[in-house]
Structure 1
């Protein structure tokens, strides 16, 4: 049974969300101490977090960043804010999905099932694999780290997802849309510039372990990882 932590200061709405999810077999926990949401997360170890943005003390973006220092557990923002910038901010700060209030509970459950499948279930490519090897480049699935010629470094979550997606399609063009889906599972929340920035960071990380000019830009199409280190 998955534990869902609900970070919602509207007690009535929080209780409604809790009751609905428990009817469908989820275990839930309503946060009460909004001054220490990070501590609540550490104490309860939830599998998924439903996070409002407008909260007492600090906003949901702040708490999302705090949780990301500890865990990659899925975080779904549930907020009345509906601008594109709010949704971009949610993703940029480590969120996995976004639901705008008011919402249907069918949509809430669908989003919840989706992030659980991607993180823990049949849609997760990383669950049963620990190491992916590619011509001497070792990709450590459970660590978000890579190693080449005895040089090992840790990647950010986004850098790792990008590299893994490119590595699974070595010497093939991977479209920008596919890479955006690999990163955030919803292309409308992220623009092309954000993807370009993360590709640049990944190139630098590969150079740090001695792999240079391995990611080629295919204008108008996407990117390709070239096996030029073998």
Structure 2
């Protein structure tokens, strides 16, 4: 499976240069063009790593890194012309994993990308102590924000992972609505009634990618029940 890299850089020449260099190493690369909607682009692509400039139209890279961190723990490498120590400190404090200053060496960027990917997903990842939840063939990897069924793997957001983890931990009991709200949001009193429903629907759609239908049953007035006695319909 090709690892996906998302580039958020408003200089088209630099973005294209990075794209071509990464593609030579077998990465699938997406370049963001709509800088007012970086988070939506991230949600669509679900990349394994983000290369993120600081100086961007609308909101800066620090803002977008914080938004990404609400969805994912994937590595974020800042690439910026800013060379001050405070900028590098802010990059790390806002959720970044590394920092590259412009002008940069392409080889250094590639090396940093590979290093972060190894640490997050590869040979240096702490897979031995990884928490894995499994029910009837469905595996959830909370630290990686992914779920697996048969040979297929699907990327999840942080909220989707938390929902599925809670459902699997409570199985075969009903996962109470209040418990879910508390797990996802510290103060559920300020969460809109429809917000949880929207997130549950997103998890259902992710499960449908595996051919799993009706995997989450709504128990009216109580909460939600994970149904693991499914038939994927394709013999798996």
The normalised TM-score by structure 2 is 0.56
The normalised TM-score by structure 1 is 0.57
How far, CA to CA, are the matches of 1:84 and 1:2 in structure 2?
31
Partner of residue 78, structure 2: 77
Contact preservation (8 Å) 1:126, 1:142: no
How far, CA to CA, are the matches of 1:109 and 1:22 in structure 2?
11
Measured on the aligned residues, the alpha-carbon RMSD in Å equals: 2.9
Structure 2 spans left out of the alignment, 5+ residues: 133-141, 146-157, 163-181, 184-236
How far, CA to CA, are the matches of 2:122 and 2:128 in structure 1?
7
How far, CA to CA, are the matches of 1:65 and 1:54 in structure 2?
15
Question: Is the counterpart of residue 68 in structure 1 residue 69 in structure 2?
Answer: yes
**Structure 1 residues 130 and 31: alpha-carbon distance in aligned structure 2, compared to 1, 3 A threshold:** same
Partner of residue 38, structure 1: 39
How far, CA to CA, are the matches of 1:96 and 1:11 in structure 2?
24
Structure 1 spans left out of the alignment, 5+ residues: 132-139, 146-152, 155-230
How far, CA to CA, are the matches of 2:129 and 2:42 in structure 1?
26
Partner of residue 107, structure 2: 106
Alpha-carbon offset, residue 129 of structure 1: 2.4
Question: Is the counterpart of residue 57 in structure 1 residue 58 in structure 2?
Answer: yes
Equivalenced residue count is 144
Question: Is the counterpart of residue 48 in structure 1 residue 43 in structure 2?
Answer: no
**Divergent runs of 4+, >4 A:** 140-145
Alpha-carbon offset, residue 95 of structure 1: 0.4
Alpha-carbon offset, residue 24 of structure 1: 1.1
How far, CA to CA, are the matches of 1:103 and 1:27 in structure 2?
21
Give the match's secondary structure for 2:36: coil
Partner of residue 15, structure 1: 16
Partner of residue 88, structure 1: 89
**Structure 1 residues 141 and 75: alpha-carbon distance in aligned structure 2, compared to 1, 3 A threshold:** closer
Partner of residue 123, structure 2: 122
